[in-house]
Amino acid sequence: MNKIEHIGIAVKDIQASNKIFTDVLGVAPYKQEAVESEGVLTSFFKTGENKIELLQATREDSAIAKFLEKNKEGIHHIAFDVSDINAEIKRLMGLGYKMIHETPKDGADNKLIAFLHPKDSNDVLIELCQEKPL
């Protein structure tokens, strides 16, 4: 693992949340993107080396909609940057960890992603992220 890539925050209203984070961070989001396969609208903020991803559900059956149904708005996941996502998945599975995604899938912000099952990580949803090759 190279670094924390971003912290994902589940929100009900991405536009209202964009205003809050713009006010707090003093910068506007650098990207807003729909990820149809996940049923989410994302918005990314960057301050220095740190990134925040806001996630709003676009479908009732999405993971974010289900999260918000059970919880209040708030931290949904922590994402870690990795150099070789396939090797990291294999390494973690070899150590006995369960992956939600055993093969990487396309994510927002030009990333390949895979999630570690939170039952194996103190109920913290961990995302592995690798920049997509050009």
The pTM for the full model equals 0.92
Say if residue 133's pLDDT is above 90. Answer: no
Alpha-carbon gap, residue 68 to 5, rounded angstroms: 23
Mean pLDDT of 50-79: 96
Alpha-carbon gap, residue 93 to 90, rounded angstroms: 5
What is the per-residue pLDDT for 1? Answer: 85
Rounded alpha-carbon distances, angstroms, from residue 73 to 10, 53, 54, 83, 107: 5, 13, 10, 31, 21
Residue 43: which residues within 8 A CB-CB, separation 6 or more? 14, 17, 18, 29, 31, 32, 33, 53, 54, 56
What is the per-residue pLDDT for 57? Answer: 98
Whether residue 107 contacts residue 113, with contact meaning beta carbons closer than 8 Å, is answered with yes
pLDDT digits (tens, 9 = 90+) for 70-79: 999 999 999 9
